[in-house]
Structure 1
Amino acid sequence: MLHFLALCLPIFAVVAIGYGASRRRMVSAEMVDSIGLFAFYVALPAMLFRLMAAQPLAESFEGVYFAGYLASCLVVFGGTMLVAMALGRRRPYAAALGAAAAMGNVGYLAPPLLLPILGPRVAGPVAMAIVAEVAVIIAIGSVLMTRAEAGQGLSTLLARVAGLARNPVILSVFAGAAMAATSLPVPDAIDRFLAFLGGAAGPTALFALGGTLARLHVGRNLVALAGAVSLTKIAVYPALVWLVLGPLLGLDRAWVAAGVLLAAMPTATNAFVLAQSNGTAADEVSAAVLLSTMLAAIAFPATAWLLALPVPP
């Protein structure tokens, strides 16, 4: 446990630095946003393309894994939403909580946390998690959160899908998979360029995450709700993924470990942006993002330890 804690704490320390810099106004909100945009739209696509293109497609894509992970994601999303509606919440509000429980920070946190533990083979699972938790949940959540007039839900869905189709992260995943399918090596000069640019993804993304968290808050009246959503995200979701990928589908231990660790990511800031843009449960999701990230500093290494993974050098 202490080995994994020592491995993970420096990564969360960069988040803390970004948080502190933003709180002390050493960097402005606009600067944090710009760093985040660079990380998500430039550095992260370079890293994902390079990792995906460097290994055979059969090693980075597993259809059964993707189906099991996506099914678990949808169960967590739908289950959280149904519980909220059973407690008297309206559909848009319940959908926002469902997104907070199902959308992990797989873009910013997963690569720097998982690469030291599982190595480059994690590129495929990360890519499939991005497709499941970002593309699918954003598309479904956008429709369910819309207080729609007739036909507005469909137009919202089409607009979100069109936006995702132009997302550099999604495009880099498919481009890297296509390159891997050709079995052609990436030219050395391009590979060095991608490695140099992609190397900036982790630090910049983590710093931007901390700066974004500094603008969020956990109101006293929201602690219980945020705690329930956070525990669903970092405990119930990983346990469900372990059950589905392991005992039910019988996948290789490496795939199971990757899926569980990805499911253990804290709630993504994208969930807050989605709730805010639809004008529903923004404060509640904001609290869940902040609280789940704080808890993940301990919960994630504990999850890696419970999986009995070999301690990385």
Structure 2
Amino acid sequence: MLAIISITTPIFLLIGVGYFAVATRLIAKPQIQGLGGFVINFALPALIIRALIQRPIEETFNGYYLLGYGLATVIVFGVSLTFALRVRHKALDVASLYALGMSGANSGFVGYPVAALVVGSPAVVAMALNMVIENLLIIPLALALAEVGSQSGSSFGTAIRQSVSRLGRNPIIISILIGVSIAVLGVPLPAPLFKAIDMMATAAAPTALFVIGGTLYGLRTRGMRKDASQIAFGKLVIHPLAVLLMFTALPDFDPALAVAALVFASAPMLSVYPIFGQRYGHPELCTAALMGTTLVSFMTISAILWVIATFDLFGFAG
């Protein structure tokens, strides 16, 4: 148990430092947003490029991983959407936000730092594959459904096309394309360029955690406890359980990648979740869900790491 605490405590200490920095006004909220922009637009893309060019391309684009994590995530998305529509009787725009919150993990800001401490270098590969699933499938689908449900007059097809068109400007997708191109062509990067990429990549994990902490300061839940707790339960329990069952069913799978998938699924939802909520008129719901899920994830991630170590899941010897 002490080994697990030694993994999770530094993660949440860095989140706490970010929270403290904003709470004491050592750093202003706009500066946190600037740091977040650095992580999304530079540090995480550098991390992905570094990972893709340092290993054979066939090791990176693991079809089993894409199938296992992708299918589990899509199932959770569908179940969450149905639950919100049929059981909670929510409108389509709110239901799509339910589904996004339960199935869209914070792979870059929380999932990767934890997974890197647990499995090492395979965490970068898992992060790149997760971001393919999230950016090409889950986020566009959720936003398209929300667009249709927000009474904006858009058809589902139009909303999907608008979401897909924005992918061409997404730095994560661009970095994946660059990394894959370099890996396929086998062209070595000049040493100064690789060093610059390496330095930015190294800054990704601690800066991301600091940003999460700063973002949490000032968030208000405003009586959204029931909805937020249901979304948190789906994200922190149902999503990891679905990934666990899916990877247990897959034959002869890399144990390190399987453990990484479970850790990523255990992370809270996307840090931009409240921004999506604000866009469709439900900022309080998404803010409450993000704050509650992030706080509770300290316990749930620790519990999942304990289960992995105690029951030797996937035969992983960390």
Whether the TM-score (by the shorter chain) exceeds 0.5 is: yes
Alpha-carbon displacement from aligned partner over 1:123-181 (angstroms, at most 9, x marks no partner) = 22111111212332221111111224554443332222222221111211222123223
CA distance in structure 2 between the partners assigned to 1:143 and 1:224 by the alignment: 25
CA distance in structure 1 between the partners assigned to 2:305 and 2:133 by the alignment: 22
Aligned with residue 228 of structure 1, among 201, 209, 230: 230
User: What is the letter of the counterpart of residue 125 of structure 1?
Assistant: A
CA distance in structure 2 between the partners assigned to 1:37 and 1:213 by the alignment: 16
Shift of 1:250: 5.1
Scaled by the length of structure 2, the TM-score of the pair is 0.91
What is the match of residue 216 of structure 2?
213
User: What is the letter of the counterpart of residue 176 of structure 1?
Assistant: G
What is the match of residue 7 of structure 2?
7
Alpha-carbon displacement from aligned partner over 1:217-250 (angstroms, at most 9, x marks no partner) = 223x322322221121111111111111222555
Alpha-carbon displacement from aligned partner over 1:251-282 (angstroms, at most 9, x marks no partner) = 23223212111111111122222121122x32
Q: What is the 5 A alignment of 1:193-204?
A: 193-204=196-207
Q: What is the 5 A alignment of 1:14-25?
A: 14-25=14-25
User: What is the letter of the counterpart of residue 103 of structure 1?
Assistant: G
Q: Is contact 2:112–2:264 with CA below 8 Å preserved after alignment?
A: no
Q: Is contact 2:277–2:285 with CA below 8 Å preserved after alignment?
A: no
What is the match of residue 34 of structure 1?
34
User: What is the letter of the counterpart of residue 16 of structure 2?
Assistant: A
What is the match of residue 164 of structure 1?
167
Answer with 189-198 or 173-182: which moved more: 173-182
CA distance in structure 2 between the partners assigned to 1:237 and 1:132 by the alignment: 14
CA distance in structure 1 between the partners assigned to 2:177 and 2:220 by the alignment: 36
What is the match of residue 265 of structure 1?
267
Q: Is contact 2:111–2:266 with CA below 8 Å preserved after alignment?
A: no
What is the match of residue 64 of structure 1?
64
Q: Work out the percentage of aligned pairs sharing the same amino acid.
A: 26
Alpha-carbon displacement from aligned partner over 1:197-233 (angstroms, at most 9, x marks no partner) = 21221222111111111132223x3223222211211
Q: Is contact 2:104–2:270 with CA below 8 Å preserved after alignment?
A: yes
Q: Secondary structure at the match of 2:253?
A: coil
Scaled by the length of structure 1, the TM-score of the pair is 0.92
Gaps of 5+ in 1: none
Q: Secondary structure at the match of 1:70?
A: helix
Q: Is contact 2:14–2:210 with CA below 8 Å preserved after alignment?
A: yes
CA distance in structure 2 between the partners assigned to 1:124 and 1:182 by the alignment: 19
Q: Is contact 2:101–2:273 with CA below 8 Å preserved after alignment?
A: yes
CA distance in structure 2 between the partners assigned to 1:269 and 1:230 by the alignment: 14
What is the match of residue 47 of structure 2?
47
CA distance in structure 2 between the partners assigned to 1:187 and 1:115 by the alignment: 26
User: What is the letter of the counterpart of residue 140 of structure 1?
Assistant: L
Count residues with an aligned counterpart: 310
Q: Secondary structure at the match of 2:145?
A: helix
User: What is the letter of the counterpart of residue 63 of structure 1?
Assistant: G
What is the match of residue 114 of structure 2?
113
In structure 2, do the counterparts of structure 1 residues 9 and 311 end up closer, same or farther at CA, with 3 Å as the change threshold?
Answer: farther
User: What is the letter of the counterpart of residue 101 of structure 1?
Assistant: M
The Cα RMSD (Å) is 1.9
CA distance in structure 1 between the partners assigned to 2:187 and 2:2 by the alignment: 41
CA distance in structure 1 between the partners assigned to 2:57 and 2:72 by the alignment: 23
User: What is the letter of the counterpart of residue 274 of structure 1?
Assistant: F
Alpha-carbon displacement from aligned partner over 1:51-107 (angstroms, at most 9, x marks no partner) = 121011121111122022111111111111111111211111111111111111101
What is the match of residue 131 of structure 2?
130
Alpha-carbon displacement from aligned partner over 1:180-202 (angstroms, at most 9, x marks no partner) = 23344433322221111212212
Q: Is contact 1:60–1:123 with CA below 8 Å preserved after alignment?
A: no
Q: Is contact 1:61–1:125 with CA below 8 Å preserved after alignment?
A: no
User: What is the letter of the counterpart of residue 34 of structure 2?
Assistant: S
Q: Is contact 1:59–1:121 with CA below 8 Å preserved after alignment?
A: no
User: What is the letter of the counterpart of residue 45 of structure 2?
Assistant: P
In structure 2, do the counterparts of structure 1 residues 302 and 174 end up closer, same or farther at CA, with 3 Å as the change threshold?
Answer: farther
